[in-house]
Structure 1
Amino acid sequence: MDAAKTGGDVLFVLMGAVMVLAMHCGFALLEVGTVRRKNQVNALVKILSDFAMSTIAYFFIGYTVAYGIDFFTDAQTLIGKGSGGFAAYGYDLVKFFFLATFAAAVPAIVSGGIAERARFWPQAAATLALIALFYPLMEGTVWGTRFGLQAWMAASFGQPFHDFAGSVVVHAFGGWVALGAVLNLGNRRGRYRANGSLVAIPPSNIPFLALGAWVLCVGWFGFNVMSAQVLDGVTGLVALNSLMAMVGGIVTSLVISRTDPGFVHNGALAGLVAVCAGSDVMHPLGALITGGVAGLLFVWAFNKCQIDWKIDDVLGVWPLHGLCGLTGGLLAGVFGQEALGGLGGVSILSQIVGTLGGAGFGFAAGLAVYGLLRVTVGIRLDPEQEYKGADLSLHHITAYPEEDAPGM
C-alpha cells in the first residue's frame, strides 16, 4: 500500500508539472499575439530560453536556497534507495520538476512587460540571478518555512501567511519584479507623442493571444489543484474555486472593457492569478467575487499605466500579476474566514504583512537586478535595432519571412 501511495503521488505531481510546463507555451503565445509582428520570434525564443536558464539556476542553486536540498549524490539515493533521505520512486525529483515550472513562471511574467526593446543576453542574466537567489528566498520563506518569518507571523497573528498556489510567491513577486524592470528599461520609442499622448499599438494577432490565454487557463488547474503535491491532499474545492474565479474575471472584464478581446482573455487570467492564494480555503462564492474584483482591477490598472502613468508595460504584467496577485493574497484572508463561508485557518494581519512584504521584495529585486545590468552591460536595444524589431536584430529572421523579405 505504501508503494502504491508513493507511486500515485509521483504520477500526480508529474502530471501537475507537465500541465504547468504547458503553461509556458501559453505565456509564449500570449506574448506573440500581443507584440508587433517584428518581435514575435523574439517572444518565442525568449520564453523557451528563459525556461532553460531558470531550470539550470534552480537546480544548481535556487532549490537549495529555498529548501536546503541539493541533488549532488548518486542516482540510487535520488530515487530513495540510499541513505540520503530522498523519497521512494523519485518523488523528490518530480517535486523539483513541478516547483521548477513555478520558478520559471517569474521570468515568463517579466518577459511580457519588457517586450519589444530588451536585449537578449542581459535578460538571460537577469533570469539566472532572479531564480538562483531572489525568487528562492521568497519561496523558501513562505513554502519552505525557512528563515523564521512564518513562525513569527503564526506567533504574532495567530496563523502563518497563507499562499496555497502562489498568488504572492509567484505572481505578485513576478509582477513587481517586472515593474522594476520596466522602469529601468523605459518606454518603447514612439509609444508617446511629444505632448505625452498615447500612440495606440494594437495586438498583432488576437487568435494567438486568445490561444495563449486558453492554454494558460487549462494549465492553471494543474498549477492550483496539484499544489497539494500529494493525492491525500487533493480537493475538488480548489478546482471549483479556480473555475469560479476565472469566470468572475471574464465577466467583469467583459463588461468594463466593453467586450475588448484582449481584456476579456486577460480577465480570465486575472481571476486565476487572484484565487491561487486562497483557492483551498475559500467558498466558491468568495472565489467568484475575488475573480470579479481582479478582472475589474486589471482593466482599470492597465489603462491607468498606459494612458495616465505612462508606464509602458507591454502585456500589462504588473496589473495582471503584480496587482491581482497582491489582491488575491489579501482576499485570501477575507474570504478564507469561516464567517464568510471559508474553511478558516487564515489571519487577515498575516495576509497583509505577507502580501505587502512579498510585493515589496519583488519590486526591490527588479530594481536591483535590472538596475545593475543597466549601468554595467546595458539592457536595451539601440534605436536602429528597436526600429527594425528584435526578430531581425537578434535572431536574423522574422515570423513571416516570405512576406517580409522581397523577392522570396
Structure 2
Amino acid sequence: MRRITRVSMVGILILVFINIFSMMAFADDTSKAGDPGGTKIGTSYDITAKESGKPTQQEVYDQVGRNKLGINYVWVLLTGCLIFFFQAGFAMVETGFCRAKNAMHTMSMNFMVFLVGAVGYFMVGFALQFGGVGSWTSLGTGTTTLSHEIAIGGLGLFGTKGFFLTTGGTYDVGVYALFFFQMVFMDTTCTIPTGGLAERVKYSAVVVSSFFVSMIYYPLFGNWLWGGGWLSQLGVKAGLGHGALDFAGSSVVHGMGGMMALAGAIIIGPRIGKFRKDGTAVAFPGHHIPMAVIGTIILFFGWFAFNAGSTMNGTDFRIAIVATNTMIAGAIGGLAAMFYMWFRYGKPDPSMTCNGALAGLVAITAPCAYVSGISAFIIGLIAGILVCVSVKVVENKFKIDDPVGAVSVHGVNGIWGIVALGLFADGTYGAGTNGVSGGVIGLFFGGGFGQLGAQLIDVITLIIWGFGTSYLFFKILDKTIGIRVSREAELQGLDLPEMGMLAYPDFALKPDNIDIQTSIEEALATNSK
C-alpha cells in the first residue's frame, strides 16, 4: 500500500510539473504566436471554389505557393512514416540474430526505445538540435521561430527554441513537421546500440540510455551538422568546402549509434562462453535467420525514404538520384559480402549478406545526393567487403562481443560514408548548402582537400564525442544501477527474468532440459577463463 501511495504521489508531482511548464510555455508564446492551423502558409484561398470572375494574379501566386508547400508537407510526413517502419526492421534483424531464449527481450527493447526516444526528443532533444536552425524554407516561414543558437566565437553549439514544442512560438505546422521527420531519424540511433549489447544488458539500462541518446547525445552532434552548428560552418568560417556534410546520417545517425554500441559492448563485456580460454570465439548462431532476412528487406525498403526523404522537399527532383544511388549501393554491398564469404569460407553466409547490404546502405547515406551511380556502386562495393573484414577484426582481434555486427555495419561504415562524400562528390548538387556557392566537389573530382578536410574533422568529432561521451555514460551507469544482468539470468535467457514472459512459450524447455543446458553453458564459461 505504501509503495502504491508513493508511486501515486510521484505521478501527481510529474503531472503538476508538466501542467505548470505548459502554462508557462503558452504564456511565453502569446506575443510570438506560431501557426498551429497552417493558415499563414500562402493563403486559404481556393481557386476552384471561386464562383464568379477570375482569380487575381496575387491569388494565383498564393495558391501555387501553398500547393508547392503542400507537396513538401506530404513528402515529409509520408517518408517520416516509412522511416518509422525501421523499428520493425531493426527488431527483426536483431531478434533473428540472437538466441531464442532472449527473443522477447530483444524485441521489447527495439519497441521501447521508440517510446522513450519520442518523449525525450519532444521534451528536450529537438530544441537542442534545431532550436537555432533559423528556418527550413521547404516547410514555410513558421520555422523561423527556431531562431536562437548558443554559440562561442560565432560557432554554433546548440539551440534553445522548441522545448516541448511550445516555447518561443514553435507551436507551428512547419516546426511540427520538422520534428516528426527528425524524430524518427534520432530513434534509429537509439535502436542501434541494443544490438551490440543484446543478450546480457538490463532492460532498465536501455531505458536510461535511450533518454540520454534522445535528450543530449544525439541532439548536440546533430546540431553541429544539421542545426546550423559549428561543423556545418567549416565552409564559411574555415574555407573547407561546404563545411562538414552528411546528407541523411552516415555519421549523425549511424556513426553515433555504432560508436555507442562499441562503447557499451566494451564496458558490458562478452556473453558468457563467447570466448574460449585460448581467446578464440565461440559461434552463437541466431535462432531465426529468416526473420533477420525479412528485417533486412524492411530496412532496405525504408532506406529509400530515409535518404530521399532527407531532401525534405517533394519538388526537388534530385530525389530520383538519391533513391537510385541508395538501391545501387545496398545491392552491391550485399552481393560483395555474399561473394566474399562464399570465396573465403565456402558458403554464401546469409547473415553476412544481410549485413553487407546494410553496410552499403549506411555508407551511401551521407553522399547519396552528391554522387553518381558509378560512385555509389564503388562506395557500396567497398562497404560490403569492409563489413566482413571488420566483423572478424572486432571479434577476433579486439575480443569485443557484438551479436549483430552493429559496430561494423553502423560505426565503421558510417565513417566510410562520411569519407566517401569527401572523395566522390562530383559538383552537380549542393549549390548554396551551408552558405557556400557552387556544387559540392570531392577530392577525386578536382575539389582539392577542402571538402575532404571538413569530412575528416567530422570523423574525428564523431569518435571523440560519439565514443568518448557514450563510454563515460556507460561507465557511470554501470557504477550506479548496473548495465548487465546476473549470471543466472543470462544463462536462463532474459525473457523470463527481465520481461516476465517467453517469446516462444510452446517451446519452453522443461526443467530437466534447462539443467542440461545450464551445465553445458557453465562448462563453456569455465573453459573460457
**Structure 1 CA distance for aligned equivalents of residues 455 and 358 of structure 2:** 22
Deviation at 1:194, TM superposition (A): 1.7
**Structure 2 CA distance for aligned equivalents of residues 60 and 233 of structure 1:** 31
The match for 2:425 is 336
**Structure 2 CA distance for aligned equivalents of residues 245 and 311 of structure 1:** 28
1:132 to 209, 212, 215: 215
**Structure 2 CA distance for aligned equivalents of residues 372 and 122 of structure 1:** 11
Deviation at 1:85, TM superposition (A): 6.2
Is 1:70 aligned to residue 155 of structure 2? no
The match for 1:13 is 76
**Structure 1 CA distance for aligned equivalents of residues 75 and 308 of structure 2:** 10
Judge conservation of contact 1:168–1:359 (CA < 8 Å) in 2. Answer: no
Is 1:256 aligned to residue 348 of structure 2? no
Which residue identity lines up with residue 225 of structure 1 in the other structure? A
The match for 2:372 is 283
Q: Secondary structure at the match of 2:270?
A: coil
The match for 1:244 is 328
Q: Secondary structure at the match of 1:380?
A: coil
The match for 1:218 is 301
Q: Please list, as runs of the form range in 1=range in 2, the aligned pairs for 1:354-365 lying within 5 A after superposition.
A: 354-365=458-469
Is 1:404 aligned to residue 523 of structure 2? no
**Structure 1 CA distance for aligned equivalents of residues 328 and 339 of structure 2:** 17
Cα-to-partner distance string for 1:305-356 (whole Å, 9 max, x where unaligned): 12232100111111100000000000111110449xx963451111111122
Is 1:84 aligned to residue 169 of structure 2? yes
The match for 2:457 is 353
The match for 1:29 is 92
**Structure 1 CA distance for aligned equivalents of residues 111 and 268 of structure 2:** 22
The match for 1:159 is 242
The match for 1:320 is 409
RMSD value, Cα: 1.9
- Higher mean C-alpha displacement, 32-41 vs 363-372: 363-372
The match for 2:232 is 150
Which residue identity lines up with residue 100 of structure 2 in the other structure? R
Which residue identity lines up with residue 26 of structure 1 in the other structure? G
Alignment length (residue pairs): 395
Which residue identity lines up with residue 144 of structure 1 in the other structure? G
Deviation at 1:125, TM superposition (A): 0.4
**Structure 2 CA distance for aligned equivalents of residues 113 and 154 of structure 1:** 38
Q: Any stretches of 5+ residues in structure 2 without a counterpart?
A: 1-63, 132-160, 343-347, 429-437, 443-450, 512-529
**Structure 2 CA distance for aligned equivalents of residues 52 and 135 of structure 1:** 16
**Structure 2 CA distance for aligned equivalents of residues 42 and 261 of structure 1:** 24
- Identity, % of aligned pairs? 30
Deviation at 1:23, TM superposition (A): 0.8
Is 1:229 aligned to residue 292 of structure 2? no
Deviation at 1:200, TM superposition (A): 1.2
Judge conservation of contact 1:166–1:277 (CA < 8 Å) in 2. Answer: yes
**Structure 1 CA distance for aligned equivalents of residues 241 and 275 of structure 2:** 49
Compute the TM-score of the two structures, normalised by the length of structure 2: 0.72
Larger proportion of helix: 1
Deviation at 1:67, TM superposition (A): 1.2
Judge conservation of contact 1:141–1:150 (CA < 8 Å) in 2. Answer: yes
Q: 1:24 to 1:152 in 2, by over 3 A?
A: same
Q: Secondary structure at the match of 1:125?
A: helix
The match for 1:100 is 183
- Higher mean C-alpha displacement, 196-205 vs 310-319: 196-205
Q: Please list, as runs of the form range in 1=range in 2, the aligned pairs for 1:163-174 lying within 5 A after superposition.
A: 163-174=246-257
Cα-to-partner distance string for 1:255-281 (whole Å, 9 max, x where unaligned): 111110000011111000000111001
**Structure 1 CA distance for aligned equivalents of residues 165 and 340 of structure 2:** 55
Which residue identity lines up with residue 105 of structure 1 in the other structure? T
The match for 2:55 is none
Judge conservation of contact 2:73–2:177 (CA < 8 Å) in 1. Answer: yes
Deviation at 1:134, TM superposition (A): 1.3
**Structure 2 CA distance for aligned equivalents of residues 361 and 205 of structure 1:** 35
Cα-to-partner distance string for 1:106-135 (whole Å, 9 max, x where unaligned): 121000000000001111101101210111
The match for 2:484 is 380
Judge conservation of contact 1:53–1:124 (CA < 8 Å) in 2. Answer: yes
Judge conservation of contact 2:126–2:163 (CA < 8 Å) in 1. Answer: no
Which residue identity lines up with residue 323 of structure 2 in the other structure? A
Cα-to-partner distance string for 1:229-285 (whole Å, 9 max, x where unaligned): 122334211011101101120121011111100000111110000001110010110
Deviation at 1:301, TM superposition (A): 0.6
Deviation at 1:202, TM superposition (A): 1.1
Judge conservation of contact 1:22–1:219 (CA < 8 Å) in 2. Answer: yes
Deviation at 1:72, TM superposition (A): 4.7
Moved over 6 A (4+): none
Indicate the structure (1 or 2) with the bigger Cα radius of gyration: 2
Cα-to-partner distance string for 1:11-54 (whole Å, 9 max, x where unaligned): 11111111110011000000110000001101111011111101
**Structure 2 CA distance for aligned equivalents of residues 158 and 31 of structure 1:** 38
Which residue identity lines up with residue 104 of structure 1 in the other structure? D
1:45 to 86, 108, 113: 108
Deviation at 1:406, TM superposition (A): 4.8
Deviation at 1:405, TM superposition (A): 5.5
**Structure 2 CA distance for aligned equivalents of residues 174 and 273 of structure 1:** 11
Q: Please list, as runs of the form range in 1=range in 2, the aligned pairs for 1:110-121 lying within 5 A after superposition.
A: 110-121=193-204
Q: 1:73 to 1:14 in 2, by over 3 A?
A: closer
The match for 1:201 is 284
**Structure 2 CA distance for aligned equivalents of residues 234 and 59 of structure 1:** 31
The match for 2:386 is 297
**Structure 2 CA distance for aligned equivalents of residues 329 and 149 of structure 1:** 13
Q: Secondary structure at the match of 2:85?
A: helix
Judge conservation of contact 1:66–1:137 (CA < 8 Å) in 2. Answer: yes
The match for 2:29 is none
- Higher mean C-alpha displacement, 386-395 vs 301-310: 301-310
**Structure 2 CA distance for aligned equivalents of residues 321 and 345 of structure 1:** 25
The match for 1:179 is 262
Considering Cα pairs closer than 8 Å and 6+ residues apart, tell me whether 1 or 2 has the greater RCO.
1
Which residue identity lines up with residue 174 of structure 2 in the other structure? Y
Deviation at 1:7, TM superposition (A): 2.0
Deviation at 1:196, TM superposition (A): 1.4
Q: 1:85 to 1:376 in 2, by over 3 A?
A: closer
